[in-house]
Amino acid sequence: MSKLPLRKILGGTAATAMVFSLAACSSEDSGGNDLITYEIDCTQFEEFGDLSGTTVTVYSSIASESEAQPHVDSFAPFEECTGVDVEWEGNRDFEAQMPIRAAAGNAPDIAYFPQPGLMGSIVRDYNDQVVPVGPTAEANIDQYYSEAFKAYGTVDGTLYGVPVGANVKSFVWYSPSMFAEAGYEIPTTWDELMTITEDIAANAEGVEKPWCAGIESGGATGWPATDWVEDMMLRTATPEQYDQWVTNELAFNDPVVIEAIDKAGSILKNPDYVNGGLGNVATIATAPFTDAGLPILDGQCWMHRQASFYQANWGEGVTVAEDGDVWAFYLPADSVDEHPVLGAGEFATAFRDAPEVHAFQAYLTSPDWSNIKGQTTPNGGWLSANTELDPANLTKPIDQLSYEILADPATVFRFDGSDLMPSAVGAGTFWTEMTSWIANDKSTQDVADAIQDSWPSE
């Protein structure tokens, strides 16, 4: 069932634990284990003592089987080494349920936060429940992650979250064959992008438009529009201004921010440019983000700005590759020398102070886990910012490209701003006001003023 080299496993004192765990895991989740060819050294967990028979519960927003199973599979080597049973619980309603569980004192051992902002507010509000990251895991982060990623997991000077995934958002999806037939080159500056856009718009017929977008996402409707604004902030303002904007040192209705929103509007609110295959500008508000890029496949839309994880949405039989049916290019900045990149990621925070929980966090921060997780994710859509991750272990080209961009020294990386802002804004008015901006043609100034007004005073 497992391709773990027995020599390595039996080499350590974990041998006794092995007897337990082999029996335990033969009944379940053996399916994904044949994907793992990566070798892991079990001795790294010796310092945590004998953990066999213990359980670590993980709570996450990742609920669908296709996305959750790769995570579950990636824990198998850890479970085999230590005898710890890792229980995965996914709930699509995580953002609402996690605060309820924390308030009720019912937190899981580990929670995967998709937004550092939510993690921060939970850490501050329920400080007696959260457990800082242990020394081994912290040492791993210092060694294998950039300082930026460590900073995103830190709340008020203490490290609480370990990164468990990353994505790159500054992508524009397109059809390579459509571009080739029309003779378009991949744009490398904003001006080139707009030239192509105008050209497509001039030649478009019927429901065809250069861009398509969709921001409907149930209770989180609006977030794709906030990504647009953040990407524009990185292109119109300095990285420092971006950081100030996220903490509200730079007011939301500052002219700098207005300029960024208007730049997003130059595409999203231009009826000649959107919404390919879907209708007029307002349809952006009701189009589910999961489907909004699909008109590209019908030739009704040319470009769709969405993160690397969108590759999972293209459907069966669609090849996502540079020479395939769809591919993505980097959303260019004003000049080829600038390389701002918007991204995001998940952070795992502990709520129980126990050796098995610390051991699990240590595993998650190790290069081992990142490489194994790459292998257990056959359909792609996942990567980590771990510097020791071998891109060859990522199964999909778009994930490899994303990793290259993250690892590129020229890249100026910034985390998704709405994920960092307080929930009242980042999971609240920023979403809803951007939705009104599109759906009801609310003016940029009114939108920015309303968001600024809603910024919590505490």
Residues found near another protein in the complex (CB under 8 A): 63-65, 89-93, 95-97, 99-101, 103-106, 118, 121, 125, 206-207, 216, 218-222, 275, 277-280, 282-283, 285-286, 288-291, 422-424, 427-428, 432, 435-436, 439-440, 450, 456, 458
DSSP 3-state of 206:
coil
Structure token digits, residue 16: 């006794």
Give whichever of 136 and 429 is closer to another protein, judged by the CB atom.
429
Give whichever of 121 and 371 is closer to another protein, judged by the CB atom.
121
Distance in Å, CB of 122 to another protein, minimum: 9
DSSP 8-state symbol, 326:
B
For residue 209, what are the β-bridge partners? 301
Sheet containing strand 209-211, strands side by side: 209-211, 301-305, 171-174, 327-330
Distance in Å, CB of 379 to another protein, minimum: 14
Distance in Å, CB of 334 to another protein, minimum: 33
Polymer length in residues for the chain: 458
Whether 432 contacts 222, CB under 8 Å:
yes
DSSP 3-state of 27:
coil
Give whichever of 2 and 432 is closer to another protein, judged by the CB atom.
432
Distance in Å, CB of 222 to another protein, minimum: 7
How far is 108 from 352, CA to CA, in rounded Å?
A: 8
Q: CA separation (Å) from 357 to 97, 108, 154, 190, 349?
A: 21, 11, 18, 46, 10
Distance in Å, CB of 242 to another protein, minimum: 23
Give whichever of 215 and 331 is closer to another protein, judged by the CB atom.
215
Give whichever of 95 and 243 is closer to another protein, judged by the CB atom.
95
Query: Read out DSSP for 140-184?
Result: HHHHHS-HHHHHHTEETTEE-EEEEEEEE--EEEE-HHHHHHHTP
Q: Is the dihedral of CA 238, 241, 245, 247 positive or negative?
A: positive
Give whichever of 108 and 340 is closer to another protein, judged by the CB atom.
108
Structure token digits, residue 39: 């070798």
Distance in Å, CB of 16 to another protein, minimum: 25
Distance in Å, CB of 363 to another protein, minimum: 23
Distance in Å, CB of 215 to another protein, minimum: 10
Give whichever of 20 and 59 is closer to another protein, judged by the CB atom.
59
Distance in Å, CB of 160 to another protein, minimum: 17
Give whichever of 277 and 374 is closer to another protein, judged by the CB atom.
277
Distance in Å, CB of 151 to another protein, minimum: 22
Distance in Å, CB of 288 to another protein, minimum: 3
Give whichever of 89 and 199 is closer to another protein, judged by the CB atom.
89
DSSP 8-state symbol, 387:
T
Whether 119 contacts 86, CB under 8 Å:
no
Give whichever of 25 and 285 is closer to another protein, judged by the CB atom.
285
Distance in Å, CB of 103 to another protein, minimum: 5
How far is 38 from 201, CA to CA, in rounded Å?
A: 49
Q: CA separation (Å) from 216 to 90, 247, 327, 439?
A: 21, 26, 23, 11
Whether 380 contacts 399, CB under 8 Å:
yes
- Nearest-CA neighbor of 276 among 251, 257, 306, 296? 296
* Degrees to nearest 5, angle at CA 25 with 22 and 27: 115
- φ and ψ at residue 118, rounded to 5 degrees: -65, -40
How far is 209 from 15, CA to CA, in rounded Å?
A: 62
Structure token digits, residue 116: 């550092």
Give whichever of 328 and 421 is closer to another protein, judged by the CB atom.
421
Give whichever of 387 and 423 is closer to another protein, judged by the CB atom.
423
- The residue behind tokens 């490290």 is 159
Categorise residue 222: left if φ over 0, alpha if ψ from -120 to 50, beta otherwise: left
